Structure 1
Amino acid sequence: MKHGQLASKELAEFVRERAAIEETYSKSMNKLAKIASNGSTLGTFAPMWDVFRVSSDKLALCHLELMRKLNDLIRDINKYGDEQVKIHRKTKEEMVGTVEVVQALQVQTGHLQKSKEGYHAKCLELDRLRKDGAPQKELEKAELKSKKAAESFALCIEKYNRVGGEFEQKMSESAQRFQEIEEAHLRQIKQLIKGYSHSIEDTHVQVGQVHEEFKQNVENIGIDNLIQKFAEQKGTGKDRPALVGFEEYITVLAPEGGKKSRAKAFRIPGLVWTQANIFLLHLLT
Structure 2
Amino acid sequence: MKETLFKKNFWSTDLTSTAGYDIIIQHLNDGRKNCKEYEDFLKERAIIEEKYGKELINLSRKKPCGQTELNTLKKALEVFKQRIDSVGQSHIQLAQSFREEARKMEDFREKQKLHRKKIELIMEAIHKNRNLQYKKTVESKRLYEQRCRDKDEAEQAVHRSANLVTQKQQEKLFMKLAQAKSTLEDSDRAYQQNVNMLEKIREEWENEHIKACEFFETQECERISYFRNALWVHVNQLSQECVQSDEKYEEIRRSLEMCNIDKDIEFFVNYRKMGNMPPAPVVYENYYNTSRNATPVRNPPPGIGRRGPLPIPTSGPSDPDYATVDGYSLVHH
TM range (shorter): 0.5 to 0.7
Looking at structure 2, the residues matched to 42 and 187 of structure 1 have their Cα atoms a distance apart, in angstroms, of 55
Distance 1:210 1:121, change over 3 A: same
Mark the structure with the bigger radius of gyration: 2
Comparing 130-139 and 53-62, the one that deviates more: 130-139
Q: 1:185 deviation in Å?
A: 4.1
Are 1:163 and 2:190 counterparts? no
**TM-score normalised over the length of structure 2:** 0.54
Residue 70, structure 1, aligned to residue 98, structure 2? yes
| Residue matched to 2:237 | 199
Letter in 2 for 1:168: E
Shift of 1:25: 0.4
- Structure 1 residue 190 displacement after superposition: 3.8
- Structure with the bigger percentage of helix: 1
Tell me what 1:61 maps to.
89
Per the alignment, residue 278 of structure 1 pairs with none
Instruction: Indicate the SS of the match to 1:234.
Output: helix
Q: Structure 2: which amino acid aligns with 1:112?
A: T
Contact map agreement 2:94 2:241 (CA 8 A) in 1: yes
Shift of 1:203: 0.6
- Matched letter for residue 115 of structure 1: S
1:26 matches 2:57: no
Kindly state the Cα deviation for residue 226 of structure 1 after the two structures are TM-superposed.
3.0
* 1:208-227 correspondence to structure 2 within 5 Å: 208-211=246-249, 214=252, 220=257, 225-226=260-261
Q: Is the 8 A contact 1:105 1:160 kept in 2?
A: yes
Equivalences for residues 1-285 of structure 1 within 5 A: 3=29, 10-34=37-61, 37-41=64-68, 47=74, 49-50=77-78, 52-80=80-108, 83-84=111-112, 87=115, 91=118, 100-125=125-150, 135=161, 137=174, 138=176, 141-142=179-180, 144-211=182-249, 214=252, 220=257, 225-226=260-261, 228-235=263-270
Q: 1:168, CA displacement in angstroms?
A: 1.2
Q: Deviations over 1:31-55 (max 9, x none)?
A: 3323664435269996474464245
Whether the aligned pair in 1 keeps the contact of 2:53 and 2:92 (CA below 8 Å) is yes
Higher mean C-alpha deviation, range 100-109 or range 6-15: 6-15
Q: What secondary structure is seen at the aligned counterpart in 2 of 1:39?
A: coil
Gaps of 5+ in 2: 1-24, 162-172, 278-325, 328-333
Match of 1:13, as an amino acid? Answer: D
Amino acid at match of 1:232: F
Q: How big is the shift at 1:212?
A: 5.0
Aligned-pair identity (%):
17
| Residue identity in the other structure for 1:111 | K
Alpha-carbon contact 2:54-2:89 (below 8 Å) kept = no
Equivalent-residue separation in structure 2 for 1:236 and 1:88 (angstroms):
77
Per-residue deviation at 1:116? 1.8
Relative to structure 1, is the Cα distance of residues 38 and 216 closer, same or farther in structure 2, using a 3 angstrom cutoff?
Answer: closer
Q: Judging changes above 3 Å, is the alpha-carbon distance between structure 1 residues 70 and 50 closer, same or farther for their aligned structure 2 residues?
A: same
Q: Is the CA contact 1:105–1:167 (under 8 Å) kept in the aligned structure 2? A: yes
Over aligned residue pairs, what C-alpha RMSD do you find? 4.4
How much has 1:159 moved relative to structure 2?
1.9
- DSSP-derived class of the 1:157 partner: helix
